[in-house]
């Protein structure tokens, strides 16, 4: 069997040694030469192989651990982490469809379903006058058998009939379409955050672990807001894809 780490070469003068090692290991992970679950050799052995100090090697490994590409398991060593799940923000696609396109199984557990007065921020997002009622739906969503996302969604009760739990275990957008409100566009905002005690418990991470908060308002073909949602994704298991255009316009300003 070919040892993929045999492709690693000792750092050369000029660029920081840890950065060179980090990039070489990154190449092996991206190319699939190092597969999820594979154990990386002990730091001492790998440092000797590359002719660097353990401190230098650890800097390289730490950088990849912070990115969620490697993970340390207490008493066992360092392993290649599970492949990250992509959330492609360039297309309008439901969570189950997004994962299905990547060959990853999706699961949904409904944690809470109730009709409540709309909180101020939700009412504003949905264009409601308080105290309008909203259906509040809290769900835990998984990918590949592991928790990935905790999400709370609000639907305007005056526009959307109550939904059954069974309808919410799949795509909420499919349920909205069945109710006559197919989602035509959505506005999403991303904000880095950290896990509180409840999020940490549900997502299986340590309190203070990095998360990505995604706030979304969805509109139907009549451009009426039919859903507002706030979800927190595990930062170590998710990557987000966006695309921007550099086409000049009359309102462009120099950067």
75 occurs within a structural domain: yes
Beta bridge partners of 168: none
Peptide bond into 131 cis (omega under 30): yes
Are the beta carbons of 226 and 176 closer than 8 angstroms?
Answer: yes
Answer whether residue 55 shows pLDDT above 50: yes
Confidence (pLDDT) at 60: 93
Q: What b/e sequence results for 118-148 when a residue is b if at least 16 CB atoms lie within 10 Å of its CB, and e otherwise?
A: beeebbebbebeeebbbbbbbbbbbbbeebb
17-31 vs 54-66: helix crossing angle, rounded to 10: 50
Tell me which of 41-45, 229-233, 239-243 is least confident. Answer: 239-243
Quick one: what percent of the chain has pLDDT higher than 90? 56
Asked which of 38, 57, 80 is the last residue of a domain, the reply is 80
Asked which of 80, 100, 122 is the last residue of a domain, the reply is 80
Domain that holds residue 150: 85-241
- Total domain count, the chain: 2
Please tell me which residue, 68 or 223, carries the higher pLDDT value: 223
Count of H-run helices and E-run strands, the chain: 8, 11
Confidence (pLDDT) at 73: 85
Answer whether residue 75 shows pLDDT above 90: no
| Residue 136, CA distances (Å) to 2, 113, 115, 117, 230 in order | 54, 6, 6, 9, 11
Confidence (pLDDT) at 91: 83
Answer whether residue 227 shows pLDDT above 50: yes
d(C-alpha 171, C-alpha 106), whole Å: 10
d(C-alpha 65, C-alpha 79), whole Å: 9
Q: What pLDDT digit, counting tens, does each position of 6-28 carry?
A: 788 889 988 899 999 999 999 98
Predicted model pTM: 0.76
Indicate whether 19 and 54 sit together in one domain.
Answer: yes
Under the phi-then-psi rule, with left for phi > 0, alpha for psi from -120 to 50, and beta for the rest, what region is 205? beta
251 occurs within a structural domain: no
Other C-beta atoms within 10 Å of 239: how many?
Answer: 15
153 occurs within a structural domain: yes
45 occurs within a structural domain: yes
Three-state secondary-structure class, residue 172: helix
Q: What pLDDT digit, counting tens, does each position of 146-200 carry?
A: 899 999 999 999 999 888 877 888 889 999 999 999 999 999 999 999 999 999 9
Confidence (pLDDT) at 19: 93
Confidence (pLDDT) at 247: 65
| Mean pLDDT, the chain, integer | 89
Confidence (pLDDT) at 1: 44
Indicate whether 132 and 237 sit together in one domain.
Answer: yes
């Amino acid at each position: 069997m070919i040892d993929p780490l045999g492709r690693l070469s000792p750092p050369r003068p000029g660029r920081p040694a840890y950065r060179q090692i980090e990039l070489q290991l990154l190449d092996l992970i991206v190319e699939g030469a190092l597969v999820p679950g594979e154990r990386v050799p002990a730091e001492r052995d790998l440092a000797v192989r590359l002719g660097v100090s353990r401190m230098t090697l650890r800097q390289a490994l730490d950088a990849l651990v912070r990115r969620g590409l490697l993970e340390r398991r207490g008493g066992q060593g360092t392993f290649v982490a599970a492949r990250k799940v992509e959330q492609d923000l360039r297309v309008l696609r439901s969570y189950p469809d997004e994962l299905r396109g990547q060959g990853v199984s999706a699961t949904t557990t409904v944690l809470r379903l109730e009709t409540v007065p709309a909180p101020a921020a939700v009412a504003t997002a949905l264009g409601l006058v308080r105290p309008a009622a909203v259906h509040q739906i809290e769900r835990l969503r998984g990918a590949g058998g592991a928790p990935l996302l905790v999400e709370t969604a609000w639907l305007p009760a005056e526009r959307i009939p109550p939904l059954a739990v069974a309808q919410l275990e799949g795509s909420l957008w499919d349920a909205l379409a069945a109710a006559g409100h197919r989602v035509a566009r959505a506005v999403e905002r991303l904000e880095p955050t950290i896990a509180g005690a409840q999020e940490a418990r549900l997502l299986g991470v340590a309190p203070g672990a990095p998360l990505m908060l995604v706030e979304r308002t969805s509109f139907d073909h009549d451009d009426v807001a039919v859903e507002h949602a706030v979800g927190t994704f595990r930062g170590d298991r998710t990557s987000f894809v966006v695309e921007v255009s550099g086409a000049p316009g009359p309102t462009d300003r120099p950067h």
